[in-house]
Structure 1
Amino acid sequence: MRSETHYLGMVVAKNNGMLLADMTVHGRPSVNDLATLLAHAMKRPLDGDARRPRLVRLRGHRQWRGLFPVLKELGIDVSVERKLPGVERAYRDHLRRLRDDQRAGMIKPSAAQAKVEAMFPAVAR
């Protein structure tokens, strides 16, 4: 079997680190995927306050270049950067929420199951 790569695109507000939009992409993301993600962040952001940014910060991937003229027409400046600390922080928070959601469904052991160390000291060691 071949492994398949999935990407999570995220739009984060610079001032407060709030996640405005996210989108999972199966396979290599295209300029259309980025345009869709940005449109969601502007038209229907997760915080509910629709707005047009003055500046979009992106990692320097070649496939995004096709979107630059469109953003310029909309009056949105583009900054290409190596690191995006706000997005990296939001991604860590996203992973933490996923882990917490998985743990919430875990079944708590019964009183008898919690005493397994006393019942099986060799296993406990």
Structure 2
Amino acid sequence: MTNARDEGFVLLETLVAFLVLAVGLTAAIGAVSQATLAVRGASEASRAADLAREVATVEMQALTGLGATTGEFEDRGAWRLVARELPDGGAIPLLAVTIEIRPAGASRAYRFESFALGAAP
């Protein structure tokens, strides 16, 4: 036989257990949310790297001078390529090339940098 005091103690234990469970579930939901955002960001960065590779393959082959060139991908985003000469004093100019990619639907733009040899004088 239980008395009222024992029943109150069991109720208190149950409430504390629910509180601990609620705190644990809240932390787990937060961790899943952060993981989802990280996966989405990694997917955007991967897509931007693929698009930058496409731009580099086509545009750096045809790179004839300094300055900026812009373009768009069919429903996949926009890009901007900037080429500037580095002061190395060599016979063949060394170009610093920056490619900025904004994939369609992405939360930010991504910047990639590389080097290319310019045309011999």
Greater strand fraction, Structure 1 or Structure 2 = 2
TM-score tier by shorter-chain length is: under 0.3
**TM-score of the superposed pair, with normalisation by structure 2:** 0.24
TM-score (ref. length: structure 1): 0.23
Computing the radius of gyration from Cα coordinates, the structure with the larger value is 2
